[in-house]
Structure 1
């Protein structure tokens, strides 16, 4: 990556030059066969900026533009394209409308949502509807051509800040799910199940446990299966070790 110190306006920004000097021939997006892009954004100025960026990269080709959901639907049917680049908020709807329309109309096409804001719920909704990327218009990470090339080659395009937030959200959700699904182990087993587990831990067979508790061997084995299920183990040894480590008896 080249660095130009002379291009520092008021000492605030550095200019870096990093043209793609190597682009393997096996990747999608070559000068002779660029990735075809359909752009949908209701702001003509933004469309112009994005269009210029896409056309400046020989690996991407802008084949069509639209400024609304209605125009977007028509363009999806009209143009042959590989990647849909669509603004989240459109004058007569939003990107979700077009994402739902895209898959049945163009099953092989990929989609990248662009937006001024990076709302986590909206990002998740976009991915649920089949988008492979979500790019902030004000992001300093990457550009539109790179996003298009990433999804065209089987990847996903998302800014590092947004990726970290989603990972943190996933961790919190996972933790909450685990707490809901895994109550305290001591509360999992009934008094009878704990009694049977104590006897099993002492070395008694199912028949001997049944004899001591005045129940059938079949009933003992039924209790043991319930114990395995509740403790999420598969063998007597695992059940005894699990219960012992957690002080269940």
Structure 2
């Protein structure tokens, strides 16, 4: 995002007390900041049409619609504006929807003031603003995606096994030793060991247990 200058902000929050609290957080964080407050989606849209904002703090659930519409509008018509969702919703679906629509942060309303303001300060340095629990959800998601990608790669590599390698894998999965595999397939132990090494390399595994599991997953046994 790069370093940012935040001089103007829009708050979209229908609960008066919460709107006022967010305003106070902004005033304490950014000296001289000019703030406009909206209490409905329609009001926010009118304010957005009248001027540019450096920062928009947006509630998701509003009486007349969804705050995500404002995130969409800003991405399309005011890309320089930093959109940060401020909400009570901790659900994954809301978090990932906000990110996919272009939000640069996702803060929960129950954050301590000092923590909330710290996240706002981070925006100046071009950092994203996520509540700790939301950050953990993102990390878990990334980890899950990495695991899925690894599984996909393993599946791709399994399809690249030669027929002989698949035969050897089946015997490995059955718990047979190299000498037994060689006897049944009419191969030397040295040749079988070479196949085993190549199978492990292609499937990115290091044990017979993993080999058995993958052979079962791929329908070889």
Q: How far has the Cα of 1:149 moved from its partner?
A: 3.2
Deviations 1:182-227 (A, max 9, x none): 22855532427889xxxxxxxxxxxxxxxxxxxxxxxxxxxxxxxx
Q: Is 1:114 matched with 2:86?
A: yes
Which has a greater percent of helix?
2
Q: Is 1:165 matched with 2:120?
A: no
Q: How far has the Cα of 1:28 moved from its partner?
A: 4.6
Q: Is 1:243 matched with 2:198?
A: yes
TM-score (norm 1): 0.60
Query: Counterpart of 1:111 in 2: which secondary structure?
Result: strand
Higher gyration radius (CA): 1
Distance 1:124 1:243 in 2: 40
Q: 2:45 aligns with which of 73, 80, 83?
A: 73
Q: Which runs of 5+ in 1 are unaligned?
A: 1-26, 196-238
Pairs within 5 Å for 1:1-249: 28=4, 35-59=7-31, 61-140=33-112, 142-183=114-155, 185=157, 187-191=159-163, 243=198, 245-246=200-201
Aligned residues: 175
TM-score (norm 2): 0.67
Q: Structure with the greater relative contact order (CA < 8 A, sep ≥ 6): 1 or 2? A: 2
Residue 53 of structure 2 contacts residue 81 of structure 2 at CA under 8 Å; is this kept in 1?
A: yes
Distance 1:64 1:92 in 2: 19
Distance 1:74 1:143 in 2: 31
Residue 141 of structure 1 contacts residue 159 of structure 1 at CA under 8 Å; is this kept in 2?
A: no
Kindly report the root-mean-square deviation, in angstroms, between the aligned alpha carbons of the 2 structures. 3.1
Query: Counterpart of 2:75 in 1: which secondary structure?
Result: helix
Structure 2 CA distance for partners of 1:143 and 1:88, relative to 1, 3 Å: farther
Query: Counterpart of 1:139 in 2: which secondary structure?
Result: coil
Structure 2 CA distance for partners of 1:101 and 1:58, relative to 1, 3 Å: closer
